[in-house]
A and B are shown apart, each in its own frame.
Chain A
Amino acid sequence: DAGITQSPRHKVTETGTPVTLRCHQTENHRYMYWYRQDPGHGLRLIHYSYGVKDTDKGEVSDGYSVSRSKTEDFLLTLESATSSQTSVYFCAISGNGEAFFGQGTRLTVV
């Protein structure tokens, strides 16, 4: 498996609180991505990064922000969590044209 670590793996949080998910890679890949996976929707891109401090929005970016201060770390922040953001979040990295995925973070907003 590619060297991708997501933390935490599981989290329960209350509506209105900020939440930060972390993705750490050891592959030195340029591109990193955050997806959410929901039944009936497949994987939808939230944000992605193409280098340190270079990020762009995906198709479902509202309510999320990201930061990448180092090549190896890509953070996803839910500024004020809502129940609609209950989901499984996957980080991915891209090298040689294919994507490699982390183990996922299951987030529940109550």
Chain B
Amino acid sequence: AQSVSQHNHHVILSEAASLELGCNYSYGGTVNLFWYVQYPGQHLQLLLKYFSGDPLVKGIKGFEAEFIKSKFSFNLRKPSVQWSDTAEYFCAVGGNQFYFGTGTSLTVIP
């Protein structure tokens, strides 16, 4: 069965700290991988995506993620977080259906 696991449920960081959010997946077909962000009170927006090619993908707002096939992982990183990055982050795997992790709530303290 397809599944997505996010290891961190709630992360608290100070501004300028580095961020890494873990994501592991189980999927039987060709993998399309995504990270979405949900700011308070808003809908999900795409941060970045991986379909094929370079396993290091860059997204909006300085985020990047690395696809490691041997580890079934797609971890999200940002070198220096800002207060405005406070949000919930969802990892997802998709084909015709999309499967989401349970989300990681990130709080950035000014």
- Picked from B6, B90, B94, B103, the residue with its CB within 8 Å of the CB of A97 is B94
Q: In the complex, which residue of chain B has the Cβ closest to the Cβ of A35?
A: B100
Contact of A98 with B49 in the complex, beta carbons under 8 Å: yes
Give the bracket for the number of chain B residues in contact with chain A: 20 to 34
B 80-97 contacts with A by CB, 8 A: 90, 92, 94, 96-97
**A interface secondary structure, majority:** strand
Contacts A97-B51, A98-B34, A101-B44 given; indicate if A40 touches B94 (C-beta within 8 A): no
B-chain residues with CB within 8 Å of residue A43 when the two chains form the complex: 44, 90, 100
16 contacts between A and B (CB under 8 A): A31-B96, A35-B100, A42-B6, A42-B90, A42-B103, A43-B100, A45-B97, A45-B98, A48-B96, A48-B97, A50-B96, A94-B94, A97-B51, A98-B32, A99-B34, A102-B43
Query: Would you call A41 an interface residue if the criterion is a C-beta within 8 Å of the partner chain's C-beta atoms?
Result: yes
List residues of A (82-105) whose CB comes within 8 Å of B's CBs: 90, 92, 94, 97-104
Taking CB atoms, residues of chain A closer than 8 Å to B98 are: 33, 45, 92, 94, 99
CB neighbours (8 Å) of B6 from chain A are: 42
Bits for A12-49, please: 1 = Cβ < 8 Å to B, else 0: 00000000000000000001010100001111110010
